[in-house]
Amino acid sequence: MFPNFHPVARVLLADNDLASRLTLKSILSTAGYAVDAAATAAEAIGKLDVNEYQLVFADLRGESLEAGQRVLAYARQKEFRPATALIASDMWETGDMREAGTEPAPDDTADRVVSISNENVSRLLARTAELIGDRADRRIRRAERRVS
């Protein structure tokens, strides 16, 4: 890496598809994020136990339908409370790849879904920054409530 390089934020990417995982890691790393990648839910959970992340992405269709949701649920229980989102990473599929997510619930437990494809890399980066920014806002609000 470059000397004096300070990543924007640390991201965990859990995706069992090697091509998608490497592509997403490359895109996010080039944008200035420090990215750790995991091929399985168990590997992602292990990384969550030893590292702190600002954002955790988990593949919507990973090893099983529940695997990505399990990773995000585990991440939300960590003290550092990262932003979380499921990703639909059909990187090679053509057609309309729209974001198909829900707005977060007040308790931040709703899983957001970010769709990505070759055509909307800028949207992926914008959503990544937005998720990390939302996390920072929540942390500030919690700190303010503790002080008052």
Q: What are 103-117's pLDDT values in tens digits?
A: 333 344 455 667 665
Query: What's the one-letter identity of residue 87?
Result: I
φ, ψ of residue 25 in degrees (nearest 5): -60, -45
Domain range list for the chain: 10-147
Q: What is the pLDDT of residues 25-53, one digit of tens each?
A: 999 999 999 999 999 999 999 999 999 99
The answer to whether 70 touches 90, Cβ cutoff 8 Å, is: no
Percentage of the chain modeled with pLDDT above 70: 75
> Which amino acid, residue 32?
G
Task: State how far the Cα of 126 lies from the Cα of 3, in Å rounded to an integer.
Answer: 26
Joined tokens for residue 110: 């709703």
> 10-147 falls under which CATH superfamily?
Response regulator (3.40.50.2300)
Among all chains, which residue has been given the structure tokens 């890496």? 1
- How far apart (Å, rounded) are the C-alpha atoms in residues 52 and 11? 9
**Whole-number mean pLDDT of the chain?**
80
The most confident of 55-64, 71-80, 122-131, by mean pLDDT: 71-80
Q: Write the CA distances from 126 to 26, 35, 38, 129, integer angstroms.
A: 16, 16, 22, 5
